[in-house]
Amino acid sequence: MEMYARITQRIRGYDDQDIGLTLLSGGIAAFILLPLIWLLIRSTYVDISRAREVLFRPTTAQIFINSILLVILVTTLSLLIGVPLAVLTVQTDLPFRRFWTIAVALPLVIPSYIGAFAYMSGFGPNGVIANVLSPLGIETVPAVVGLSGTVLVLTLFTYPYVFLTTRAALLSFNSTLLEAARSLNHSRWSAFRNVTLPRILPGIAAGALLVALYTLSDFGTPAIMRYDVFTRIIYVEYGAYGKDFAALLSVQLVVITTVILAIESQLEVPESTNQATLTNRKARQSLGIWKYPATIYCLVVVTLALLLPLGILFYWLFHGSAGITGTEFSIEYAVNSVYVSGLAAIVAVLAAIPVAYHSARNNSLISRLFERATYIGYAVPGVVIGLALVSFGLQYAQFLYQTIPLLIFAYIVRFLPQAVGTIRTSTLQMDPALIDAARSLGHSSVSTFRRVTLPLIGPGVIAGGALVFLTTMKELPATLMLGPIGFETIVTYIWIVQKSGYYGKAAIPALILVAISGLSMVVLLARGDFRGQQ
Amino acid sequence: MSPSDESSGNRTYTRRNILETSALAGLGSLAGCTSLYSDQTGAQISLSDFRGSGPLVSGRQPPGGVSMEEMPDLSGTLTLYLGGGERGLYVRLFDLLREKYPEFTLLTNTGPSTRLAQTIIQEYQSNALQGDVFLPVDAGALGVVAAAGATQKLPDSILTKVPRKFRGDNGQWTGLEGRVRSIPYNTNKFDESDIPNDIFAFPDTSALKGTMGWAPTYGAFQAFITAMRILNGPSKTKEWLREMMNYGVQRYGNEYFVASAVADGAIGAGFANHYYALRVQNARPDAPLKLAFTTDDAGSLVNVSGACVLAGTQQESLAQNFIRHLLSSEAQEFFATVTKGYPLIKGVAPLGNLPTIRQLNPPEFDLTKLKNLQKTIDLMREVGVL
């Protein structure tokens, strides 16, 4: 009887607007999957016997194990770093809280191949650090290579995903519950585990998923650290004119991604966790004496993930070869970077809101499917997406080939899930009764969305837009392949000088990259904070 | 350098004897680099603008060949697909051309050479070629594009500037600058006599066991293995790769890292294009790093960066004239002294510390065959190098 009531309620609730939202959300998902369909088609062109050889040789199993191991380790470590940092900066009276909020999010903007290069050249028996420290009598600095090196570098530059999504979830979280739990004599840890954690879990999971999939798609770090993963053989094939095989291998990557997405779906808390209200009160817990170790912890993370790599780049600026005059950095590159990244962030947020909202509100199979579908492009290396869109542009839309719109589309295919994940999390935390209330008070659905929903999911929208902006700022392969002729960004410039061996020349643009991203983060995170404090 | 070194064919060029030779050569030729070239339309650009700096450069003879002054002015807009990270290296040259010819506009699209080659082929097949000239760092990429029919024949006046073995079949492309496979080694660990001059002798040289490095995912290394596969057959190549792996060779992400690791002493020697060691040396003049070369085998393959005019360009004569400029005495002097490659026209010598191509005695090899990369990848994969 109760079940019958629920079903009829569900059917009645499925009004025209819901159908419109379903169609919109499905359309966006289909659009995002377009380049991946090309991959599937392309991969059927391969020579079957060679494909069998490539897929079933013993090293494939090793590469599979390596890739999975890397994903598990990086994701776990990112959680261990990102979640405590989010809790410290949102829920406690950590000294210089706002500063730390921005500083610990910033490593996200350092392209992982720059970070990996810095760590590789910085450590080791004759590395930069050994050179700098040798007057102090420190001669042996261990090298950072292999699995441990890859895990270290990827963790340091991806944990901000967990930090930012967890932070967004915490900001939407009503801390009066926490106070209630504490007043009922729960210990700090018990209150966190029983009250806070279940409610921010979707946010944590969204961040963990982004870390896992980014790890799967990253090429630069494992290549520099000499660790064999899937992306490396994809690049080898592609470099040897085997683009069909590159496509086939990418399909393998897509399969793994699908498995990860399915696992993550199982982990999630299906029950509604609606907490956010417009009168969300943010009482901060006092850290007391613990503020010293907490500050040191933040300092250590920022040193390893931000100061050290930048410092090593600056060492190269002063000790590396000067390069050839003419390879000077132009401010126009920075303007280009900000322009395409800003566009990508806006388009991504606009595309993500319907998908995320639909998925969070109707917890149906189809809405989940649409939402999950947007994640797949994220785990495919940028070069493969670029390849697919070059083919697509040349065959079906030549007027779009080597134009900004197609480049933005590539960014959206790769980075949309970052916005979908954070917005969905915020939507899940919102109490639907508020919407019903607004509607019953005579507000139109648009007006309700603008005046009730949007403010409530604001932190998620801002975090999502910020994530897309920051990752687009550092995106390289698609920018190289799809940018208009003569279009240079900060990162394509860095690529050029690094390829030429002028590592020192990467220092200034890398710093500009961090500075611009840092500034936008100040604006975006400050607004998020303000919203949370209202 | 002692005469016996030269006759044995195992040449290693120390920094010291370079300084000596260039000091001698420099006495008679100081005038050459100060003479000003002028142009009616553009800025005054002197030869010294095209030259690098340092002791090796100041004493050079004025370059031979045809000067830009004797070539038609560059004028109009040209779109260049530039492979590799070479834009960072060639940008100064392009800037000088822009300064010299105010009417000349050069747009570039940059990316890895093999990726650009595939893009060009796709564009060609869709009848949507965007570029006028393709300039990759590897002859194989030129071979692939030419085989797809996406290039057009260069005029003989350009082709005859460069030796036949550094040009494509049917005059479809020309080399611009040579790069030689080499063995960078750490001078604190080894003497030049420790480095074999036969690539196949490495696995039997016990002194180097466990101390070598290579970068098998790197394009230049794969071109080297392609040459070995074609020169010596797949089974001998596989055997060599297997023996090297048993020999404990370490893997690096690219050849700059190989040269850098040799300089650090992390490894004793490695396989890399010659200019990586020169760039490391440029950054760290005191690094205990020298170059050795093998003789008449794939280990001393001379590959080229080169250029072709793309089929159906609207800018045919400008494209040809642009390539002609890259083969001028000034541009070749730039390649020799700034990017530290091998000039390919007669009358311009490589930097003083490098043996000439004739002294190197590289193998006879048709560079167009470097395009057959997939078989090399399969072979490397089969033995487990990739």
Residue of A nearest to B112 (CA): A239
**How many Å apart are CA A471 and CA A489, to the nearest integer?**
13
**Per-residue pLDDT for B77 more than 90?**
yes
Per-residue pLDDT for B19 more than 60?
no
Task: For residues B327-334, give the mean pLDDT.
Answer: 95
Please list the residues that pair with B82 across neighbouring strands. B110, B135
Q: Does B376 touch chain A (CB under 8 A)?
A: yes
What local confidence, expressed as pLDDT, does residue B229 receive? 97
Q: What is the pLDDT of residue A226?
A: 79
User: What ipTM describes this predicted complex?
Assistant: 0.79
Find the largest Cα–Cα distance for chain B.
63
How far apart are the CA of B286 and the nearest CA of chain A, in angstroms? 12
Name the average pLDDT for chain A: 82
Cα B315 to Cα B74, B131, B160: the distances in Å are: 11, 10, 22
Best probe of the B interface among A126, A229, A241, by most B CBs < 10 A, is A241
Mean pLDDT for the stretch of residues B87-111: 87
Please name the residue that has the structure tokens 């800003």.
A342
Please state the separation of Cα B197 from the chain's center in Å. 21
In this prediction, residue B53 carries a pLDDT of 76
How far A328 CA sits from the closest chain B CA (Å)?
Answer: 10
Asked if B315 has any chain A CB less than 8 Å from its own CB, the reply is: no
- Per the structure block, which two tokens stand in for B213? 């490095």
Put simply, whether B30 touches A (Cβ < 8 Å) is no
Q: At residue B146, does pLDDT exceed 60?
A: yes
pLDDT value at residue B26: 37
Q: With contacts defined as CB-CB under 8 Å, which chain B residues touch A225?
A: 253
Is it the case that residue A279 has pLDDT exceeding 60?
no
Instruction: Please give the angle made by the CA atoms of B37, B42 and B47, to the nearest 5 degrees.
Output: 25
Which residue's structure tokens are 């900004």?
A404
| pLDDT tens string A217-256 | 888 888 888 788 888 888 888 888 887 888 888 888 888 8
Q: In chain A, which residue's Cα lies nearest the Cα of B129?
A: A394
The closest of B107, B91, B103, B92 to B40, measured between CA atoms, is B103
Q: What percent of chain A clears pLDDT 70, i.e. is strictly above it? A: 89
The pLDDT of residue A15 is 53
Quick one: which of A150, A268, A301 has its CA closest to A215? Answer: A150
Please write the tens of the pLDDT for every residue from A418-455. Answer: 899 888 888 887 777 887 888 888 888 778 878 888 88
More confident residue, B253 or A404: A404
B positions 70-99 inside 8 Å of A (CB): 79, 84-89, 91-92, 94-95
Q: How far apart are alpha carbons A200 and A198 in whole angstroms?
A: 6
The structure tokens listed for A32 are 């995002």
Average of per-residue pLDDT across A489-515: 82
Q: Is A201's pLDDT higher than 80? A: yes
How confident is the model over A333-389, as pLDDT tens digits?
Answer: 999 999 999 999 999 999 999 999 888 888 788 888 898 889 988 888 888 888 889
B338 contact residues in A (CB cutoff 8 A) = 324
Q: Cβ A326–B126 below 8 Å, yes or no?
A: no
What is the structure's pLDDT at B49?
Answer: 85
Instruction: Place B22 in a pLDDT band, splitting at 50, 70 and 90.
Output: very low
- Residue A276 predicted with pLDDT over 60: no
Among all chains, which residue has been given the structure tokens 């919407």?
A435
Residues of B in contact with A398 (CB under 8 A): 126, 128
Minimal Cβ distance to B264: which of A126, A486, A498: A126
Q: Tell if the CB–CB gap between B115 and A238 is shorter than 8 Å.
A: yes
Among A5-9, B80-84, B224-228, B315-319, which is the least confidently predicted range? A5-9
Q: Left (φ > 0), alpha (ψ -120 to 50) or beta: where does A388 sit?
A: alpha
More reliable by pLDDT, A342 or A202? A342
Of A379 and B118, the structure prediction assigns the larger pLDDT to B118
The pLDDT of residue A522 is above 80: no
Q: Which residue of A has its CA nearest to B122?
A: A391
Chain A interface includes B9 (CB < 8 A): no
Asked if pLDDT for residue A503 goes beyond 90, the answer is: no
Confidence of residue A4 (pLDDT cuts 50, 70, 90): low
Provide the 3-class DSSP secondary structure of residue A179: helix
Q: Looking at CA atoms only, how far is residue A305 from chain B in angstroms?
A: 22
**Is the pLDDT at B379 greater than 60, yes or no?**
yes
| CA Rg value for chain A | 24
For residue B94, the distance in angstroms to the closest alpha carbon of chain A comes to 9
pLDDT for the residue A43: 83
Summarize pLDDT for B121-136 with one digit per residue, the tens.
999 999 999 999 999 9
> What share of residues in chain B are helix, strand, coil (percent, to 5)?
45, 15, 35
Q: Which distant-in-sequence residues (6+ apart) come within 8 Å of A400 by Cβ?
A: A393, A406
pLDDT band, residue A183 (cuts 50/70/90): confident
